[in-house]
Structures are given as C-alpha cells and as structure tokens.
C-alpha cells in the first residue's frame, strides 16, 4: 500500500498543556470527514518553546499527554505523528521526544532529538537546548502500513548524515516536526527541506507550530510538504491552519530508478 493521505496541523501553542490537547481533539474532529491516514503536529506543540519550561512540562512516556495522544489516534482511526513533547525518563533526564501512534493507539515510533539546538547568530537568534535537554542517540525509522517512515526533530534535519541513514534504512517519507525561528526560517527553511528531499529522493514533511509574536520564541511557521523530485507540494504561511495531501510513496521508487543517486553511491571513495 503506497498511497496515503497526510494532514499537517500548524497550531497555536497555549501555555496550558491540556488546552493544546483539547484544541487538537477539535482539529482532528474537523479533519475526520477528509479521512486522513496520517496526522502530523509541530515540535513542542503542547509546550512553549523555552528551555526553562521543558523540565516543567516534561512527563514520562505513558503519562497524561501520551495517553491522550494514544486515545486520539485510536478514536479517530489515524496514524498520529504527535509532533514532539518534553519527556522525562526514570533518572530525571529531559528529552525533546516525538511519539508516533498507529490507528489502534499503539506506539509504533519514538525519536529523541539527537542534535541540541545550541546557536548564537550575531544580530539574530540565541538558543541553547542543552541547558535543560539531554540528546538522544538513535536514528529513527519505524514500520507503518505504508512502509518504512523516518522521523527526526528540527535541528536534526540539518545534518545530512542522519537523513541519509534513514533513507538507507528504508524510509521513503521523512517526518520532521520543527520550530525554525525568524532568523533561520527566512534563510534556510525551504532550502533545507528541498535539499534533503532531492539528495535522498524521498517525501519530506516539515510541520511547525503557528507564529505567535507574543511568545518567548517566535516560530517561523510555513509548514510544508516536498516531493522526492524537490517540488514544494504546498507551503503554508505563518498562521494557524491545516494542510491535507494525497501522496504516493511509490513515486520515490520511480525517481530513484530514473535518477539513480542512491544506487550509484561510491562508499569506498567517501570513506
């Protein structure tokens, strides 16, 4: 089964964690008539994107947010790629974690952000995730009814090695919940997603939360979907909204056969 309908929700982030989940329930109810197979959310969709707040909002896997996401996936009969949330492990470490649930509400994927967003752009943006977050250490590809899907979070996608490994592990679609800012978004958002799609000949879905000028961290928005040929299928603006598209993952196979980048690699040279 290669055909699938993907819905990407670019939502406003409230300071009330559960209010964000109530909003998600309404959004999924409104989407139900369009019968999406996969619903995708943005990075930290239920938590203001501020390092000091990640430990405050963090919950263990299986906590209230996790249970509600599982319930929504099952209730609406969709695969839910639930953006990312702050996760606390048994030793008190906090991670930026993306969960994925199948149509029965079972967790089928989990990715802890590997690369910490620690930047200092002169005249632009300063941010340091490592002040409160611990990096993950795995490349994530999970099985779905549509085949293998890759998953990473925002800054992870700037590292070509990670995207290539997901594709070599079988991914024809890579999901990237993300939160670029007003400096990096303008410069690199579309450029990066199109580059990764072209280099790896796969579909790429980048989903952001909506822009909030009053927030401590102002997200770029511009949720987008890119084809294996590098075409932007659609890109939103900065406002709240939903984007729904039918895609056929076999198109990745077609592009790879016609322009054999992956099969023509010379690994012995690159080493």
Annotated catalytic residue, options 43, 68, 87, 238 = 43
Structure tokens at 232: 């932007």
Q: Is 48 helix (H, G, I), strand (E, B) or coil?
A: coil
Whether 113 is catalytic: yes
CA distances (Å), origin 175, targets 37, 195, 264, 265: 14, 15, 25, 24
Strand pairing category for 79-81 and 38-40: parallel
Whether 87 is catalytic: no
Whether 139 is catalytic: no
**β-strand partners of 128:** 118
Structure tokens at 185: 């978004």
Q: Are 205 and 182 in contact (CB under 8 A)?
A: no
Structure tokens at 81: 């790629």
Residues contacting 187, CB < 8 A, separation 6+: none
Annotated catalytic residue, options 59, 113, 129, 139 = 113
Structure tokens at 53: 């707040």
Annotated catalytic residue, options 46, 152, 154, 209 = 154
Residues marked as catalytic = 43, 113, 154
């Amino acid at each position: 089964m290669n055909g699938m309908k993907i819905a990407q929700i670019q939502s406003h982030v409230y300071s009330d964690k559960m209010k964000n989940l109530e909003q998600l329930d309404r959004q999924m109810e409104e989407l139900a008539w369009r019968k999406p197979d996969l619903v995708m959310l943005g990075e930290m969709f239920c938590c203001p994107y501020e390092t000091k707040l990640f430990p405050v909002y963090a919950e263990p896997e299986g906590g209230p947010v996790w249970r509600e996401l599982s319930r929504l996936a099952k209730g609406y009969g969709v695969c839910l790629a639930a953006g990312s949330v702050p996760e606390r492990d048994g030793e008190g470490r906090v991670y930026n974690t993306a969960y994925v649930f199948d149509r029965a509400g079972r967790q089928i994927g989990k990715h802890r952000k590997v690369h910490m967003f620690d930047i200092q752009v002169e005249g632009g943006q300063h941010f340091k995730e490592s002040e409160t977050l611990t990096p993950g250490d795995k490349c994530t590809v999970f099985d779905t009814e549509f085949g293998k899907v890759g998953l990473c979070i925002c800054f992870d996608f700037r590292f070509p090695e990670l995207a290539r490994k997901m594709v070599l592990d079988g991914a024809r679609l890579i999901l990237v919940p993300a939160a670029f800012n007003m400096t990096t978004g303008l410069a690199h958002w579309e450029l990066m997603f199109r580059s990764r799609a072209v280099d790896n000949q796969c579909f790429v879905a980048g989903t952001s939360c909506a822009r909030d000028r009053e927030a401590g961290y102002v997200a770029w928005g511009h949720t987008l979907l890119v084809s294996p040929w590098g075409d932007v299928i659609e890109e939103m603006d900065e406002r709240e909204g939903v984007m729904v598209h039918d895609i056929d993952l076999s198109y990745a196979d077609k592009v790879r056969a016609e322009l054999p980048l992956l099969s023509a690699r010379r690994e012995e040279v690159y080493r």
